[in-house]
Amino acid sequence: MKILVTENIAQEGIAFLKAQNMDVTVNYSLTREELLSSISEYDALIVRSVTKVNEELYAHATNLKVVGRAGNGVDNIELAGATERGIIVVNTPDANTVSAAEHTIALMLSMSRNIPRANQHIKSKQWDRTLFRGVELKGKTLGIIGLGRIGTMVATRMQSFGMDVIAYDPYIRSDKFEKLGVEKMEQLSDLLGKSDFISVHTPKTKETIGIINADSFKLVKKGVRVVNCARGGIIDEAALYDALTQGIVAGAAIDVLKDEPHPISPLLDLESTVITPHLGADTFEAQKNVGESVAIEVFEALKGKLVANAVNLPTLSQQELEHMKPYLTLLERMGKIYHQIHHDAVERIVFTYKGDFTHRNTDPFVLAFIKGLYETVLDTPVTYVNAKLIAENRGVTIAESRVSTTEDFNNSVKIEIHSKNQTFEMEGALFGKKEPRIVSINSYPVDMTPKGNMLMIENNDSPGMIGTIGLLLGQNNINISTMNVSLSKTLKPALMLLTVDCPVPDDVLSQIQNQKGILKAWTLKM
């Protein structure tokens, strides 16, 4: 089989493929035209983040069966086009976890002992030891925001330094915290008030951009030290600069900047910062792991084996996929709704299939729902292959049942999502030519196509509420495409669901939330 490698991967990966008698072409300087004119010869393509694997390429890639992405994200790969053609896309999300955790710790230690400045000092042939007195980590409280793969590794390693580790991650069940001996913080503000060191390990999402901001620095202990080895922008750099210059924060260790790769942050000018140019994953071992993992995954996928890090759903035939697509779209979009409303740890999900849904293989439905559920809160792409494992690792139990009779719809799926403090319930159905619809949310009957930008509002059932929302959105130049108003038989507030032509900015959402008669409002992005 022929494999083309267009971007640099570790030699170990190439050697592995050659040892399996694969015919490997390594060419890092192909022009786009050369790539397009030669891709039809290859069964697999291995890339990093630069090669665009898109419709244009697929149109020429008549033999392509597997695309390997050496690294984590898959932004440069059009997944839908690959899936439609039965091309498997694989990546290597775990290969750099240890390196990133160790770099976090290296930064924390360098900062607490002023190592970069002391190093510079002595190399300029000076000897004034009084300038660099540091602090110990032992006995200090480390606050971790985001207890995923890297956050967990940092937590367990820093416990061996004698640190008390506390963490804030609302999407993780309490038992994981207990097992790790990490104290769970219910609110971010609790973590801010208790920590001597704060380290962020969340993905960069709408919710986490600026999660540490000017307001956060009003709550921290004076003299706290902060670390960002996750993504630039999770800590607001201007607010951090102010907090450092005002002496609220004693030091900051940063591997990732908002405007990288342009070193323009004001943080670069401060003595109290230790900054590296995004080196978290840059170790020989991580690069070797990435190269080897992508090679193994591509080889196994070419051999038709089940691949742990497949990103798309090629195990269904194109015909099956075509048939299942509307169901999967519905379930995935239903999954996306939950964490945009509730920021908590899901414990149990109960699927009840009705009518037409009961005659199908429901495994992909569960996967599609979990994929949507976790996509908005995890850094790793949640895929049809790893979705079940992710749910299992998070302690989520799944139950499924089938009901042959339906009340209002020919086919529908009802999903109950249980967390520690509540149960959220929604029902979806396929209308007409299999158009996905949400038909009920928490006992409110609705009729909504889950699509694009949406608004969900709980309001008092009193005159003028529709006008209030319409006016406010109009004043902010936001066009309403559809609007649903629903009254529950048992609950007092009314529920409004709207689809709008563009995203609703946070300040407009706050204005809505402040209107008389509005109880709660959320933006939902499908």
**Token pair recorded at residue 426:** 């929604």
Is 85 in contact with 313 (CB distance < 8 Å)? no
Residue with tokens 């200090």: 140
Query: Is residue 71 close enough to count as binding ligand NAD by CB under 6 A?
Result: no
Distance CA 380, CA 203 (A): 9
Q: How far is CA 60 from CA 39, 380, 451, in A?
A: 7, 29, 32
Helix (H, G, I), strand (E, B) or coil at 218: coil
Contacts of 279 (CB under 8 A, 6+ apart): 103, 255
Query: Smaller CB distance to ligand NAD: residue 281 or 330?
Result: 281
Closest distance of CB 98 from ligand NAD, Å: 10
Query: Is residue 149 close enough to count as binding ligand NAD by CB under 6 A?
Result: yes
Query: Smaller CB distance to ligand NAD: residue 229 or 500?
Result: 229
Closest distance of CB 297 from ligand NAD, Å: 18
Expressed in angstroms, the distance from the first to the final Cα of the chain is 39
Query: Is residue 208 close enough to count as binding ligand NAD by CB under 6 A?
Result: yes
Closest distance of CB 94 from ligand NAD, Å: 8
Query: Smaller CB distance to ligand NAD: residue 44 or 154?
Result: 154
Amino acid making up residue 353 = Y
Query: Is residue 151 close enough to count as binding ligand NAD by CB under 6 A?
Result: yes
| CA atoms 157, 158, 159, 162: torsion sign | positive
Amino acid making up residue 121 = H
Distance CA 121, CA 491 (A): 68
Query: Smaller CB distance to ligand NAD: residue 104 or 459?
Result: 104
Query: Is residue 377 close enough to count as binding ligand NAD by CB under 6 A?
Result: yes
Query: Is residue 348 close enough to count as binding ligand NAD by CB under 6 A?
Result: no
Pick out residues in 75-104 that bind ligand NAD (CB under 6 A). 96-97, 100
| Nearest in space to 229 (alpha carbons), one of 204, 205, 249, 247 | 204
Q: How many CB atoms lie within 10 A of CB 504?
A: 22
Closest distance of CB 39 from ligand NAD, Å: 30
Query: Is residue 228 close enough to count as binding ligand NAD by CB under 6 A?
Result: no
Query: Is residue 177 close enough to count as binding ligand NAD by CB under 6 A?
Result: no
Query: Smaller CB distance to ligand NAD: residue 68 or 151?
Result: 151
Among the listed residues 237, 344, 375, 379, the single contact to ligand NAD using CB under 6 A: 379
Among the listed residues 68, 148, 232, 450, the single contact to ligand NAD using CB under 6 A: 148
Binding window for ligand NAD (CB under 6 A); candidates: 134-142, 202-210, 362-370, 416-424: 202-210
Among the listed residues 14, 137, 150, 243, the single contact to ligand NAD using CB under 6 A: 150
Distance CA 349, CA 404 (A): 20
Is 472 in contact with 429 (CB distance < 8 Å)? no
Among the listed residues 212, 229, 387, 469, the single contact to ligand NAD using CB under 6 A: 229
Distance CA 286, CA 367 (A): 29
DSSP state of 266: G
Contacts of 244 (CB under 8 A, 6+ apart): 251, 252, 267, 270, 272, 273
The secondary structure of 136-160 as a DSSP string is --TTPEEEEE--SHHHHHHHHHHHT
Helix (H, G, I), strand (E, B) or coil at 257: coil
Query: Is residue 169 close enough to count as binding ligand NAD by CB under 6 A?
Result: yes
Query: Smaller CB distance to ligand NAD: residue 6 or 289?
Result: 289
How many CA within 13 A on the CB side of residue 449? Answer: 12
Active site members: 231, 260, 278
Binding window for ligand NAD (CB under 6 A); candidates: 12-20, 200-208, 303-311, 479-487: 200-208
Rounded to 5 degrees, φ, ψ at 466 are -65, -45
Among the listed residues 65, 231, 258, 336, the single contact to ligand NAD using CB under 6 A: 231
Query: Is residue 380 close enough to count as binding ligand NAD by CB under 6 A?
Result: yes
Pick out residues in 407-466 that bind ligand NAD (CB under 6 A). none
Pick out residues in 280-319 that bind ligand NAD (CB under 6 A). 280-281
| Nearest in space to 435 (alpha carbons), one of 522, 333, 514 | 333
Residue with tokens 């699927």: 351
Binding window for ligand NAD (CB under 6 A); candidates: 145-153, 360-368, 431-439, 483-491: 145-153
Binding window for ligand NAD (CB under 6 A); candidates: 52-60, 198-206, 262-270, 299-307: 198-206
Closest distance of CB 192 from ligand NAD, Å: 12
**Token pair recorded at residue 407:** 């009340």
Which positions touch ligand NAD (CB under 6 A)? 96-97, 100, 145-151, 168-169, 171-172, 201-205, 207-208, 229-231, 255-256, 278, 280-281, 377-380
